[in-house]
Structure 1
């Protein structure tokens, strides 16, 4: 039981991390693997102060299930978006990802119906068809880059299912723009000393060009829906129809385009990386791949549909283990608005709290031999026995990922569709990633595909 804010002031501060300042600076910028060293030295709740408070806010990292629950599972009046979100907001404008709590709630209410389990099921066919097109293109087998192919599959599905356009022709350019913009904002947010925003540094100019290019694509989506009222684009339509419940005012075209940009970025990266990583894992573990083949083949020789997912239990276990080892977001940040109790420690108001999802998913107290690939961790009996705060690929609490159902369904169907038709042999022993905001594969991820008999 955590103490209310009025009592949190009586608790001790989180222990200061004993690692040298220079090492901590490097580790904090390694947003995934750095968490493991920070936790090993400082424990599950640790205070990191590498520069004076007037340069960078107090910083606390949390890694245990209880501590993470106390940060993201509590009333959102006690915490807010942080400096990372401020940098994204400055570069790409207001969107569901960066809005402060008060503005976020009505926007989320307007968009949530698009991503209910019921509605998301109607999108599943797009991902299956995109995966089947990849399979048809690879009937002769050969060498592939799993990263490139999965990005293409995901972009095609995302465009056709909720955006009302086919993004295939511009998929590579969009992916490059996404990487440039997200890498700039993440790097800037984590620097204790930052150049003024008005200074046109080369990196800032490149990021601004990338954002403008993507906003041009989203503006074209919006205009296409205005020109054709019959165009099937659920997300665009929901944004066009969204109103503030208090004022009745709709969103500006600028806000609609900003939200489309963020959904395009997050929806693409999350699903593409999850699919790439799951296929790479299966390419390293043929026995698990054979079980997925048997399961998907048993469904029948036809396109897989959302109604088939309950029969793809082992495929879902593969996906969950892939998400454990390579979570869509290695961590998230929150800024405390009041003193709060986190696992028995006082986190002062104005503290940047880093929630370490990567380290949580590799906690040996929860996941024995955590680096080992083991889909049976997610067998029905193991899932039932596990606390909900042990596995958070899409976060939880008051501001979870709105597209979680979409990503899970789409990736499961694509994974089963591809592996049913093609044998995957991964060449690389490691799966390199970059972690600007969402985790993305640092391609190429080479593999050989061979048609099944």
Structure 2
């Protein structure tokens, strides 16, 4: 039998499972080993699919821009999150994706973003007001905080007692996305993930029904989607509204949690960098971080960019070729999986100085390492699937850091050995303890 990928270096991994177990256990290590062994283009097999991984900014550009409209995001993601977060924007393609993105775009306009500022600061202040001095797991703290912010901003309600259940449902669904055993046997991650999905559908289904009983829509995204109509004047199907809200809430709080946790951890380990951010945010004198002025937080921005570089929220972006094409001169047959990796690209030694070091000044004028190529620094993806909420995420991160560091200092034990598992969304493998004073 002719091997359609014989021209691409690499191997098929172990029998049956391919590289899946190695990828789940240590995705960054596997990617780096493959880069050193095969170069910036290689083949691998994960979760039953064989594909080509590209590790250059030019390949990333060609994949994200997809001028021939032949790289399917839906088919790329379907074997990981397809059953768990179906029909979210990342799981829609081409005209269908554009149509649904246009409906949701209204919630991410500059005017809408300005309206979210008060909710972001109010919820942050509630969470931090009674935060005692001492040790705190910064990942868990930020996860609760960002979920509550996302609920108030996009759903228009406080989840209250349901907050922990919803957080657990999201965590189970995300964890299930990379489990090799995708059979709902009792006690398995896949079964817990499907139950998590069912819980999220229940919560948001009830909220959609309640909104549709109201004569006048509220201003939150859930209400807008609940009352939105198709081109034929029909209300969007309830399932579509629920699917969008489940996926959006995942993106709005889980990915932001990751960035906040990594940023605060790095600032705790680098007190001089923390001083620069703290001095900057204290100059606000308690004023909120707004879309109009968050760009003035120069060093806070660079520190956030560095956290996004070290730990990008979506470390791999898979696609599937629906027709033959070439990417940076490499032939990709129809049906082949294609993946680009911000996780590796952001630490590629050919492009970054001391790539594993926390060094916000790499983004400063005079260095600006990220500007060597338009698609070298891609924490929010690119092309048609550029993260729709990237500006909301930036304001949220800066607002929370500003509120915390304006009155407190964080420290961490460098011997703690915190390890970030990058997939499916970056998360520490154990406690991420900061000391807050």
TM-score above 0.5, yes or no: yes
Indicate whether 1:167 and 2:159 are aligned: yes
Aligned to 1:178: 170
Q: Is the 8 A contact 2:56 2:345 kept in 1?
A: yes
Give the TM-score normalised by the residue count of structure 1. 0.86
Mapped to 1, the partners of 2:68 and 2:325 lie a distance apart of 12
Mapped to 2, the partners of 1:93 and 1:389 lie a distance apart of 28
- After TM superposition, give the deviation of residue 24 of structure 1 in Å: 4.1
Q: Is the 8 A contact 2:155 2:222 kept in 1?
A: yes
Mapped to 2, the partners of 1:401 and 1:87 lie a distance apart of 19
Mapped to 2, the partners of 1:202 and 1:108 lie a distance apart of 37
Indicate whether 1:351 and 2:305 are aligned: no
Aligned to 1:7: none
- After TM superposition, give the deviation of residue 20 of structure 1 in Å: 6.0
Residues 137-286 of structure 1: pairs in structure 2 closer than 5 A: 137-138=130-131, 140-188=132-180, 202-203=187-188, 204-229=190-215, 232-245=218-231, 247-286=232-271
- After TM superposition, give the deviation of residue 77 of structure 1 in Å: 1.9
Aligned to 1:4: none
Aligned to 1:132: 125
Aligned-residue Cα RMSD (Å) equals 2.6
Which of 116, 123, 126 lines up with 2:116 in the alignment?
A: 123
Which of 378, 385, 394 lines up with 1:392 in the alignment?
A: 378
Q: Is the 8 A contact 1:89 1:95 kept in 2?
A: no
Q: Structure 1 443/362 Cα, relative in aligned 2: closer, same or farther at 3 Å?
A: same
Q: Is the 8 A contact 1:299 1:308 kept in 2?
A: no
- After TM superposition, give the deviation of residue 208 of structure 1 in Å: 2.1
Q: Is the 8 A contact 2:52 2:339 kept in 1?
A: yes
**Runs of 5+ consecutive residues of structure 2 not aligned to the other structure:** none
Mapped to 2, the partners of 1:103 and 1:443 lie a distance apart of 40
Mapped to 1, the partners of 2:280 and 2:45 lie a distance apart of 51
Aligned to 1:415: 401
Which of 48, 55, 65 lines up with 1:63 in the alignment?
A: 55
Which of 254, 261, 285 lines up with 1:300 in the alignment?
A: 285
Mapped to 2, the partners of 1:34 and 1:317 lie a distance apart of 29
Q: Is the 8 A contact 2:110 2:291 kept in 1?
A: no
Q: Secondary structure at the match of 1:305?
A: coil
Indicate whether 1:445 and 2:432 are aligned: yes
Greater mean deviation of Cα atoms: 233-242 or 356-365: 233-242
Mapped to 2, the partners of 1:76 and 1:186 lie a distance apart of 30
**Deviation sequence 1:179-237 (CA, Å, 0-9, x none):** 2112223224xx7xx65xxx656434322221111112212322332344567452113
Aligned to 1:378: 363
Aligned to 1:97: 90
Give the TM-score normalised by the residue count of structure 2. 0.89
Q: Is the 8 A contact 2:315 2:342 kept in 1?
A: yes
Mapped to 2, the partners of 1:317 and 1:73 lie a distance apart of 26
Mapped to 1, the partners of 2:295 and 2:339 lie a distance apart of 35
Aligned to 1:39: 35
Aligned to 1:368: 353
Q: Is the 8 A contact 1:336 1:351 kept in 2?
A: yes
Q: Structure 1 215/76 Cα, relative in aligned 2: closer, same or farther at 3 Å?
A: farther
Q: Is the 8 A contact 1:434 1:442 kept in 2?
A: yes
Q: Is the 8 A contact 2:227 2:235 kept in 1?
A: yes
